[in-house]
Amino acid sequence: MTELEQYVNSYFGVAEAGELAEISSLFKPEMIKKGDYFLLTGKAADRLSFIQTGILRVFVETANKEVTQWISTKGSFITDLSGFIFEKPARWTIQALTDTVLFTIKREDYKKIGVLMPKWHELEKLFIARCFITIEDRIFTHLSMTAEERYALFFEQNKSLFNEVPLQYIASMLGMTPETLSRIRKK
């Protein structure tokens, strides 16, 4: 089983090998150089990708500052959900923080999966529900924790990320300034 197949299976729980191979074959390799963009705010978000290697940052420009919404790493899927599912302009800009290898599926091919495999929509539903539950937890951290507590929790769960990406992006993602993160880390 390829790594992609393993992940499709673990995220979506597709049991049968033939189906898994069929789905995976719709994903095509794609390379992005460090600093280049996977997606720009306002553009069509017509693809979903699996991160084979590399790190991507999901962010958006506001009047005052750039806000990093999320940092995605090897072994996860990436897209702008609103754009991909509802065919709206992308809300987020997505940039590679390292050289990145993706397996990408176009929206039109993605739609074929649901036709070929009727239970796919249910698996998708479960996948998105898990995403919802995860982000619900994240809201909770903002309602109930200080910056320091949010840092401690995130650091515990993502130690290696701190060597791999600029800390300012992690700070933004945690809802604090780079200075505050720096001071918390000094302790």
Partner DNA sequence: GCTTCCACTTGACAAAAATCAAGAACATTT
Partner DNA sequence: AAATGTTCTTGATTTTTGTCAAGTGGAAGC
d(CA 54, CA 31): 10
Q: Provide DSSP, 7-65.
A: HHHHHH----HHHHHHHHHT-EEEEE-TT-EEE-TTSB--EEEEEEE-EEEEEEE-SS-
Residues 68-107 interacting with a second copy (rule: CB under 8 A): 68-69, 81-82, 85-86, 91
Q: Name which of 36, 159, 40 is nearest 99 in CA terms.
A: 36
Tell me the closest approach of the beta carbon of residue 143 to a second copy, in angstroms. Answer: 5
Q: What order of strands is seen across the sheet that includes strand 47-53?
A: 28-32, 100-106, 47-53, 77-78
Nearer to DNA by Cβ, of 24 and 95: the residue is 95
Length, in residues, of the chain: 187
Write each residue from 141 to 160 as x if it is in contact with a second copy (CB under 8 A), else as -, in one continuous string.
-xxx----------------
Tell me the closest approach of the beta carbon of residue 64 to a second copy, in angstroms. Answer: 8
Nearer to DNA by Cβ, of 7 and 151: the residue is 151
Residues 109-138 interacting with a second copy (rule: CB under 8 A): 114, 118-119, 121-122, 124-126, 128-129, 131-133, 135-136, 138
Which residues of the shown chain bind DNA in the complex (CB under 7 A)? 64, 146-148, 166-168, 175-183, 185-186
Judged by beta carbon distances under 5 to 8 A according to partner kind, the member of a second copy, DNA, none in contact with residue 180 is: DNA
Q: What are phi and psi of 97, to 5 degrees?
A: -90, -15
